[in-house]
């Protein structure tokens, strides 16, 4: 199981200790294929919470360490099967959270190579701001277009 080598191991171990202490005699097993989590963005003024699979979470958390990774580096770091990793990356690339210059818009998981560089999408922040303006949560300042105001 990939959790043995992941950055979430300490969190899972802490919860497992809590659970076994409060529910004596029960066994706790992590079924990672059904596990979900929330990742909060910290690189924007407004905090956003993304609901992702545990695999997507671990891949996204890598970007706290480095700004870009090759697919091979990601696999070496999170230790999941190549096929599963490609599915995870495809979903993050198609949702435009991640970006790769080597991958075209209409790609399949078979188009992703181990030496392709993956990075956070620079337009992600801009796209989120545009969405918030459209939903009337934010409004641009009339005098300075770089200033946004939160609407109550």
The per-residue pLDDT for range 22-43, each reduced to its tens digit, is 988 888 887 877 888 887 776 6
Structure tokens at 95: 């949702």
Indicate the pairing of strand 49-53 with strand 68-70.
unpaired
Question: Half-sphere exposure of residue 30, counting CA atoms within 13 Å on the CB side?
Answer: 18
pLDDT for res 136 = 63
Structure tokens at 60: 């996204």
Judge whether 98 and 69 are in contact, CB under 8 Å: no
Nearest Cα residue to 118 out of 75, 84, 57, 81: 75
d(CA 74, CA 87): 13
pLDDT tens digits for range 84-138: 999 999 989 888 888 888 887 777 667 788 999 999 876 665 655 555 555 565 6
The number of beta carbons lying within 10 Å of the beta carbon of residue 12 is 17
State how far Cα 150 lies from the chain centre: 26
Domains in the chain, CATH or no CATH each: 2-121 (3.30.230.130), 122-152 (no CATH)
């Amino acid at each position: 199981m990939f959790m043995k080598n992941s950055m979430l191991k300490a969190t899972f171990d802490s919860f497992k200790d809590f659970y076994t202490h409060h529910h004596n005699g029960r066994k706790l097993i992590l079924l990672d294929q059904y596990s979900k989590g929330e990742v909060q963005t910290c690189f924007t003024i407004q905090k956003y919470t993304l609901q992702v699979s545990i695999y997507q979470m671990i891949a996204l958390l890598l970007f706290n360490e480095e700004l870009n990774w090759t697919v091979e580096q990601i696999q070496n770091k999170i230790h999941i099967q190549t096929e599963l990793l490609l599915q995870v990356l495809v979903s993050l690339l198609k949702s435009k959270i991640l970006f790769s210059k080597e991958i075209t818009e209409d790609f399949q998981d078979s188009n992703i190579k181990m030496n392709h560089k993956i990075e956070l999408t620079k337009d992600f922040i801009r796209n989120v701001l545009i969405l918030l303006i459209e939903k009337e949560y934010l409004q641009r300042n009339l005098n300075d277009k770089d200033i946004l105001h939160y609407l109550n």
